[in-house]
Chain A
Amino acid sequence: MYKTNDLILRTTASLIAFILLGFAVYLLLAGHNSPGGGFVGGLMTSGAILLMNMAYGLEVVRKVLPINFVNLIPIGLAVAIGTSVGSFLFQQPFLSQTYGYFKFPILGEIELATAMLFDLGVYLTVVGVMMTIILSIANDTE
C-alpha cells in the first residue's frame, strides 16, 4: 500500500467538522421551540468526531479530544437523573421541571428551563454511546 495524499479531504474535514459541531450545539439549544434536542444534537456531534476520525485517524482524534467516551455514558445518565431527582429537594414529584427568566449582559432576557439540563444529559449519553460503538467496531487492537 502506498500512502495516499488526502490533503483536500483533511482541509475540508476540519472546516466541515467545525460547522457540524456548531450546528450540533444549535440543535441542542433550539430543541425547546423548534425541531432538535439532545438526541439529534448528540448524533450530529458524533458525526463530526467520526468525520475527523476518518480524515486524520484515531491517534490524532484521541490527542485532540482526550475523552474516555465510555465514561460519557454514566456522566450523561447522572446529569439526567440528577435533574429529575433534584425535584425531591423542593418537595415536588419526580421529573418536575421549572423555568425562569434571566437577564444577561449582551443577550438580554432569556428563558432558562431545567429541561435543558435533562437534554444535556441525553446529549452526553448519546455521544458516549455512539462513539463507544463506532470506536470499538473501528479498531480491533483494543
Chain B
Amino acid sequence: MSNLAILPIIIPLIAAIVLIFFNKSVHISRALAKLFSIISLGTAGYITWYVLEHGSVILETGDWIAPYGIVLVMDGLAAILVLTTNVITTACAFYAPHAGLEKRERFYFYPFFFFLITGVSGAFITGDLFNLFVFFEVLLMASYGLIVLGGGKVQLRESLKYLLINLFSSMLFVTTVAFLYAVVGTVNMAQIAERVQEVEQQGIITTIGILLFFVFATKAALFPLYYWLPKSYIVPNPVISALFGALLTKVGIYSILRVFSLIFVHRTDLTHEMFIWIAGLSMIFGVIGALSTSNIKLIIAYNIIPAIGFILLGIGVLNESGISGSIYYLVNDMIIKTALFLLVGIISYVAGTSDLRKMGGLIHYYPSLGWLLFLSAAVLAGLPPFSGFIGKLLLLKGAFEQGEIAIVIIGLLTSLLILYSIVKIFINGFWGDKETMGNIEKKPIKGLLTPVAALLALAVLLGVGAELFYPSIESIAAYLLDPEIYIDSVLKE
C-alpha cells in the first residue's frame, strides 16, 4: 500500500517515455496525453481520499529504513497539492491540442510537459532535501525545454535569462545542502528537523535557514528576487505560461512552507518576522508591476507575485488560521492562475494582439469569453463567495491574531488593486462599440474555452462549498504546526 506515494511521480514519467515514441503522430500524442492525464488525475484523487481518511503514506524506497534511504512522504498537504497539479495538467492537456502548437507537438512538447509534471509531483512528495533538489532540476530542465520550444527570437533571449538565474539558484541550493549536511550530518528532512530541535537552532543553523529561504524565494519570485519572472513567463505559448505560472513558483513557496514549518521553527522572531515584511513588499511591488503595463499577458504574470506574497504571509504568522489560509490560497491560486493565463491566451488569439490599447468591443463577438474573464477576476481578487475570499479572510485573520495590523491594510489595498488590474482588461478589451477593432472575423474558440470553464467551475466550487473542504484544510494546518507528528511518522519512534 505504501507504493501509493510513488504513483503520482511514476505515471507522468511513464507517460513522458511512451510519448517520446509517438512524437511523429500528433493525433496519437494528443489522445495519449489526455488519457494519461485522466489516469493520473484519478489516481491522485484516490490517493488524496486515502490520505485524508487514513493518515499519511510513507514510502521507504528500496526497503531501506527511514533516515538511510530516500523517503517519500505523502501527507495531506502533498496530497492536495498533487491533486491540484493533476487538475491543472488535465485542463492543459485538453487545451493544448487547440492552442496552435502542431509543429511543437512534433518536437516533443508532450514528453516535456509530462516530465515537468513528474518534477512538480516529486518535489511535493519527497521527504529528503537532496531529493528535493533533484526534482527541482527535473522540473527546471523540462521548463528550459518548454520555454525555448519553437525558437522565436524573444524566446531565445528570455530563456537565457531564465536559465542563468535558475542555474545560479540551483548552485546555491547545492551549496546550502552541503552546509546543512556539514552541520547536522543528514539530508532526511525529518532527521534534520529532529537534530535542529536538539541544538535549539543555534546561530549557524538560522543562517543556513535564511540561505535556503533565499534559494526558494528566487524560485518562487518573492521581492526582491522576482525581476526574472514576468517577461520570461509571457514568451512561450499560453499553455506553457499557464503551467509555469501555476506550478513552478508554487513549488518554491511550497518548499518554504515545508522547511519553515518543519525544520527552522525555533527562532521565529528572526525568520518569520522577516517573511511578513517580504510578503508585504512582494504584494506592493507585484501589484505596481501589474498596474504599470497594458500588455494583458504581462498583467497576469505580474499578478503571480502578490499571490506568492499572500501565501508567504500565512507562513510568516505561523498560526492555525494563517497556515490554513496559506494552503487554501495556494490551491485556489494554482487553479485561478492557470485559468487566467489560458484566458488571456484566448483573448490575444482572437484579438490578434496582446496590447490592451488596441482592443475593444470584444464582448459583442465573444460574450462567454468576456464573462468568464469577469468571473475569474472576481475569484482572483477574493470577492465573497468565491474561493479567493476564504483564503484571504483566513490569512488576514491570522495576521490580526499576531497583531500585524500594517500588513492587513497592505493586503486589503493590494486586493483592490489586483481587482482593478484584471477588470482593466475587461473594461478596455470587452466594452466599447462593436466596430472598435474594425470588423473582426469570429474564430472558433469552443475547444479552448471548455477546459477554462471547467477550471473556473472548480474554483467557484472551492469557494461556495468551503464547508466541505475547510475541515481537511484545517486538519492539515494543525498537522503542519506540530512538526513532531511528521518526524514520528517518518522515523517511527
Contacts and interface: CB of A to CB of B under 8 A. Distances in A.
Interface of A: 70-71, 73-74, 77-78, 81, 85, 88, 92-97
Contact of A71 (B3, B10, B21, B61): B21
Contacts of B165: none
Contacts of A74: 17-18, 20-21
B105 interface: no
A50 to B, nearest CB: 23
Given A93-B60, A93-B62, A94-B62, 5 more contacts: A92-B63, A93-B63, A94-B3, A94-B6, A96-B61
B1 to A, nearest CB: 9
B14 interface: yes
A95 B131 CA distance: 15
Nearest to B70: A95
Contacts of A77: 13, 17
Nearest to A98: B63
Majority SS of interface residues in chain A?
A: helix
Contacts, number: 37
Given A81-B10, A85-B10, A93 B17 contact: no
Contact of A94 (B20, B21, B61): B61
A94 B59 contact: yes
B2 interface: yes
A81 B17 contact: yes
A95 B59 CA distance: 11
Interface in B48-78: 59-63
Nearest to B1: A91
B255 to A, nearest CB: 23
B21 A95 contact: no
Given A74-B20, A74-B21, A78-B17, A93 B10 contact: no
Contact of A95 (B2, B18, B61): B61
B63 A96 contact: yes
A85 B10 CA distance: 9
A108 B206 CA distance: 58
A88 B62 contact: no
A136 B20 CA distance: 17
Interface in B330-374: none
A89 to B, nearest CB: 11
B21 A93 contact: no
